[in-house]
Amino acid sequence: MSSSGCGNLGRALCIITGASRGFGRSTARDVSRLVKPGSVLVLVARSGDDLQALQAELAESEAGRAGVVVRRVVADLGRMEGLEAVLRTSKEAFTEDIDHVILVNNAASLGDVSRYSKNFTNMAEVDSYLSLNVSSSLCLTASVLQAFPQRSGLKRTVINISSLCALQPFRSWVLYCTGKAARDMMFRVLAEEEPDLRVLNYSPGPLDTAMQAEARSITADPKIKQSFSDMFAQGQLLTCEESSAKLMKLLLEDKYTSGAHIDIYDV
């Protein structure tokens, strides 16, 4: 049965990477409230304690009491074994009555923003960044699509947590901007290739998270650094809760063009 436009996300298997804190954690909380009993959330990150705390919180919540199950995968997504662990758990968790597979590619790192492009001479360093931030999201998405192929009655939604940096260059943010631009294009290609899929590049806005704190403390470019400090000082950062609520609105309405890049300020 289709879950679109009916106020919930269906009986879902929802995989969320980077669920231990920040935007991923808020998204996990929101999704748990919007799926039907019998749904499973697969939460992925390296910090086992934080994932365990979130799992316990959700088990105690109304969703948990209503039968939404949470599985955690403690894994480094920069490594193939990490991806394999996510796949293993997701396949184990899948049941025949699941009618919606949702993958939220949220995990990311900022990379070293304390240096300008001309300082990146070490190929291994760049490869390592791209491995986590680009390769892992393509390979995880492809693996999930293969594990849960198209069939009637099964909806499949793939979300890329994007950024303004996918569209605009930020001085001293070469790794991050490159990774986000590549990810957006990856998901645009996927949307062209797989018309049955729902593909969304969601740009969540400037969020008050650990990644933002890192950005305003170590960014090399003085103007960019100042603009992040100003946003923080002037209370212009958004909470993860408000941004995640906008993502949920997009998913529930389900009217976006597959492959589109949608910014929180346009929702």
Q: Residues interacting with ligand NAP, by CB under 6 A?
A: 17-24, 45-47, 50, 76-78, 106-109, 132, 161, 163, 204, 206-207, 209-212
Among residues 27 and 39, whose Cβ is nearest to ligand NAP?
A: 27
Among residues 87 and 161, whose Cβ is nearest to ligand NAP?
A: 161
Shortest distance in whole angstroms from residue 262 CB to ligand NAP? 13
Shortest distance in whole angstroms from residue 98 CB to ligand NAP? 24
Query: Can you tell me the distance from the alpha carbon of 264 to that of 47, in angstroms, rounded to the nearest whole number?
Result: 28
Burial 115-127 (b: 16+ CB within 10 A, else e): eeeeebeeeeeee
123: which residues sit within 8 A by CB, 6+ positions away? none
Query: Can you tell me the distance from the alpha carbon of 260 to that of 252, in angstroms, rounded to the nearest whole number?
Result: 16
Alpha helices in 148-263 (DSSP H): 174-193, 210-218, 222-233, 240-253
Shortest distance in whole angstroms from residue 107 CB to ligand NAP? 4
Shortest distance in whole angstroms from residue 210 CB to ligand NAP? 4
Among residues 76 and 241, whose Cβ is nearest to ligand NAP?
A: 76
Shortest distance in whole angstroms from residue 19 CB to ligand NAP? 6
Among residues 38 and 256, whose Cβ is nearest to ligand NAP?
A: 256
End-to-end CA, the chain: 26
Q: Three-class SS of residue 226?
A: helix
Shortest distance in whole angstroms from residue 119 CB to ligand NAP? 22
Task: For residue 232, give the nearest of 219, 213, 218 by alpha carbon.
Answer: 213
The closest residue (CB) to ligand NAP is 22
Among residues 77 and 158, whose Cβ is nearest to ligand NAP?
A: 77
Query: Can you tell me the distance from the alpha carbon of 180 to that of 165, in angstroms, rounded to the nearest whole number?
Result: 6
Among residues 46 and 188, whose Cβ is nearest to ligand NAP?
A: 46
